Chains A and B, each alone.
Chain A
Amino acid sequence: MTFVWKTLYLALVLAGGYQLTTRGIPWLYTCLGRRLGFSMKMTPITEKRVLRFKSIRRGHWSFVAISSLFVTSLFLELIVNERPLVIRFDGRTEFPALRDWTNKVLFFVDFPVFLPKNEFGQSGGGEVDYGFFRRSCDDPSLLDERITDAQEKAAKARARFEKLDPPGTDDSEFAKSRYEQRKITHEKRTQQLVDLQHSQEVFEAGEAGIVPTLYPYSPNSLRHSLDKPPPNKPSLGEGIPLGTTVAGRDVLVLLVYGFRISLAFALIVAVCGYAVGVITGGIQGYYGGWVDIGTQRFQEIWGSIPFLFTIMIIASLVTPSFAVLAFLMIVLRSWLGITFYVRGEFYREKAKDYVQAAIGSGVSDWKIITKHILPNSLVPVVTFAPFGIVAYIGALVSLDYLGFGLPPGTPSWGALLRQGLENVRFYPYLVFIPVAALASTLYGVVMVGEAVREAFDPKVFSRLR
């Protein structure tokens, strides 16, 4: 039954992501643009291109699928997380998953997400064992075993304590400290027992509750509760649909978090790199002359740097964070390729009458570049972006695969692939699953790219038959 509920829940989440991607975000974008004073109406030619893109079903559906999945994955902390959405115990209600998500989205805040065990009816130190909490909500008698255990321990500590007489003033230091220690132990054990009994009462009274996320495991949580030691093969019955890694981390969780991190990386690198590239190319094409020659030579030199190797050298010295890696990627590679095309477009557009008219009527250079020429020379940017994204996802996976990428412990496809390589003989699913995920994602993006190219820059071949 829970399976049906979970499937429904998943379908609901995905439908939400789809709606948000296809309606919400475009609506938000248009509103924002209007607010800022842009006319958000598409020009007829853009409209035609978009229609043509939508008519290429393969590419359009790949685009919808990948972007919906990505938008959904932005809320991953609320969907796949060890920490529950809501936890209630003895009159106290907390939202740990929501805090987790806020910490991720608003990088400048840092809410405490750590809920200590003893405040939620579990004995010992460390964070609440949410799995056990959930099970004891359903069945408070689960605590019986622990209570019996605690009773035994408390009785033992009591007996040991009562064996000693209170030390007098002439007793040795050793006797005093021993007495103190046993007293403390006795009090602690008794308190634990009282706490446990109290928490059982709370559970039995129904004053505790938990709403777990759809798949209650985090990238860093280890699946200890399974029968066999890791790595575990995929098995639906045991609740590990894609198995676990050598260390016991859940492959499914790593996969979905890796999807988000890969796509986010590629998008950031592509957007920032293209912004720099468009500006550089625009300046080169608009001004020409020595500016053009100088920057072109510089680019030629810069482009000859073997960038993957250079990033690896730097990464071998300091473990790069996500931001550093993205920055290196932008600086070393992603801004270069697009400049040549934008430069060419600017050269072509500058010679046209409307630009000459603008120059003649004294419009400033900056305004001509941004307002007149730029909107007319964005076709190469749009058509290259998907292929760029494929390349940057590939680069991140390669770096992680070689061990020179994101810090260890970050969920990433490359690290999964490396584990796969080490275990190719006996645990084929560790290769097969990440390869399938990577291939299907990249294939989808390539399909989008092909459709975008076909729609924005169609090649018409006339041929005599």
Chain B
Amino acid sequence: MHGMTSYFIRRLLLVPLTFACITFLVYSVIRLAPGGPIEQAQHQIRQAAMSEGGGGAALGTGQEFELPQEAMDQLKRYYKLDKPIYLGYLIWLGVWPDETKNGAFSGIAQGDFGTSYRYSDPVLDTIISKFPISIYFGLIGYIATWVVCIPLGVKKALEHRSAFDTVSSLAVFLGYSIPGFVAALALMLIFATDNFGMQILPLGDFRSEGWDEMWAQGEIWWCVKDQVSHTIIPLIAYMLAGFATMTILMKNSLLDNLGADYVRTAFAKGLSEKRVVFMHALRNSLIPICVGVGHAIGLLFAGSFLIEKTCNIPGMGLLGFNSLVERDYPVLMGILTIGVIIRLTGNIISDIVLALVDPRVRFG
């Protein structure tokens, strides 16, 4: 057990380092980039001055509309861009005193992710408000994948090289080859528009517009129906990502186990095929699939901005996409940070789960 403990300690020690590297990388890219908030403010002021100036504007070259140095400094301080990159990063991290907050430590270590440039809301609140939507799709998608893939994989393994196996393999690979958002687009085309006469699902959005009022009025049945119909297309798109991998993994893992000696022994003892397959082989072949649990946590939260943009679902992914388009850097950094934390936690959980379910595994 000694090797295991030290392995986990080493992995845990690597987490802060990884975290710091990624966030610092992105922080510096953002800081070095042109088109930040200061330049945007300058641009706006110049525009405003030009339009107000009317005829007089034609005389100037725009030089006199530059912000005075004082105001520039103030703006820089407001956006926390007045420090060199490494200091700014340390302040953002919360290990260096922040002058704008009277020298208090205020960074992500203290749970302060800053405020959105665009909406002036605290970033953390904005991100947390998107959690339910991402978890909703992530969780349902994950459970649905399990419910479909495991029986399918088992059936494919038991009927290896049969017609069913071949045909379902072709279908599974088709799912693998189409990116989720493309599938969502195609499904929307078929089932959510009038082009094929099968308009039975809504075209995007998380819920219908008046959902909350209907819920308040107690129209629960309508609400459930509405929610389900809005869920189907994005859910299928979410499921496609892991569907093929999981089915084939399940199939191959079960086939491996069915050829193992202990299965032969179990048959030799005279156990029924059902008992051997489901009680002996299946249990062992679920091990590699359990390992995916940790990675799935990332999916649970992060969402996919591609699917969310296609289906117009206001989750974490769409928030990240919009903050990128609008250059709302605190939100962007916040989403990235939370994403990285979740991913790193997921990896460690995967290792722990593997060690728990498979006593043969020894990390070192």
Contacts and interface: CB of A to CB of B under 8 A. Distances in A.
Contacts of B306: 398, 401-402
A317 B178 contact: no
Contact of A316 (B14, B189, B327): B327
Interface stretch (B143-151, B284-292, B337-345): B337-345
Given A317-B34, A435-B182, A424 B189 contact: yes
Interface string A424-452: 11001001100100110011011100100
Interface string A303-339: 0111001101110110000000000000000000000
Contact of B18 (A301, A432, A438, A459): A301
A439 B182 contact: yes
Contacts of B325: 316
B188 A424 contact: yes
A442 B195 contact: no
Interface string B340-357: 100110000000000000
Nearest to A438: B182
B362 interface: no
B255 A461 contact: yes
Given A316-B324, A461-B259, A443 B25 contact: no
A236 to B, nearest CB: 20
Interface residues of B, number: 53
A432 B190 CA distance: 9
A300 B29 CA distance: 21
Interface in B231-276: 252, 255-256, 258-259, 263-264, 267
A304 B344 contact: yes
12 contacts: A300-B14, A304-B340, A305-B25, A306-B336, A309-B336, A421-B310, A424-B185, A424-B203, A431-B188, A442-B177, A459-B255, A464-B263
A297 interface: yes
Contacts of A450: 173
Interface in A166-187: none
Contact of B203 (A297, A394, A401, A425): A425
A305 B259 CA distance: 39
A399 to B, nearest CB: 10
Contacts of A431: 185-186, 188-189
Contacts of B194: 425
Contacts of A210: none
A97 interface: no
Contacts of B344: 304
Given A306-B340, A398-B179, A435-B189, 4 more contacts: A305-B25, A398-B181, A439-B182, A443-B174
Interface in A237-294: none
Contacts of B309: 402
Contacts of A313: 26, 29-30, 324, 332
B353 to A, nearest CB: 18
A390 B34 contact: no
A447 B21 CA distance: 39
A445 B195 contact: no
A459 B252 contact: yes
A417 B183 CA distance: 11
A420 B187 CA distance: 13
A462 interface: yes
A439 B259 contact: no
B178 A442 contact: yes
Given A402-B321, A461-B255, A435 B185 contact: yes
A446 B173 contact: yes
A428 B174 CA distance: 21
B176 A463 contact: no
A432 B182 CA distance: 10
A397 interface: yes
B17 interface: yes
Contacts of B259: 461-463
A401 to B, nearest CB: 7
A438 B339 contact: no
Interface of A: 297, 300-301, 304-306, 309-310, 312-314, 316-317, 390, 394, 397-398, 401-402, 404, 417, 420-421, 424-425, 428, 431-432, 435, 438-439, 442-443, 445-447, 450, 459, 461-464
A428 B189 contact: yes
Contact of B258 (A404, A417, A463): A463
B172 to A, nearest CB: 10
A421 B327 contact: no
Contact of A447 (B173, B267, B310): B173
B98 to A, nearest CB: 24
A439 B174 contact: yes
A313 B29 CA distance: 8
Contacts of A301: 14, 17-18, 21-22
Nearest to A463: B258
Please provide the 3 A-B residue pairs with the shortest distance between their CB atoms, ordered closest to farther: A442-B177, A428-B195, A317-B33
Nearest to B30: A313
A394 B179 contact: yes
Nearest to A398: B306
Q: Which of B29, B186, B194 has the most CB atoms of chain A within a 10 A radius of its CB?
A: B186
A33 to B, nearest CB: 33
B35 interface: yes
A443 B258 contact: no
A425 B320 CA distance: 27
B255 A463 contact: yes
A464 B35 contact: no
A464 B30 contact: no
A438 B26 contact: no
A312 B324 contact: yes
Contacts of B174: 439, 443
B178 A310 contact: no
A439 B320 CA distance: 27
Given A304-B18, A398-B306, A417-B182, A439 B267 contact: no
A438 B180 CA distance: 12
A380 to B, nearest CB: 16
Contacts of B188: 424, 431
A431 B190 CA distance: 10
B22 A461 contact: no
A462 B343 CA distance: 38
B89 interface: no
A124 to B, nearest CB: 34
A309 B259 CA distance: 43
Interface in B141-175: 160, 173-174
Contact of A390 (B30, B177, B193): B177
A2 B55 CA distance: 62
A224 B17 CA distance: 58
A438 B310 CA distance: 17
Contacts of A394: 179
Nearest to B255: A461
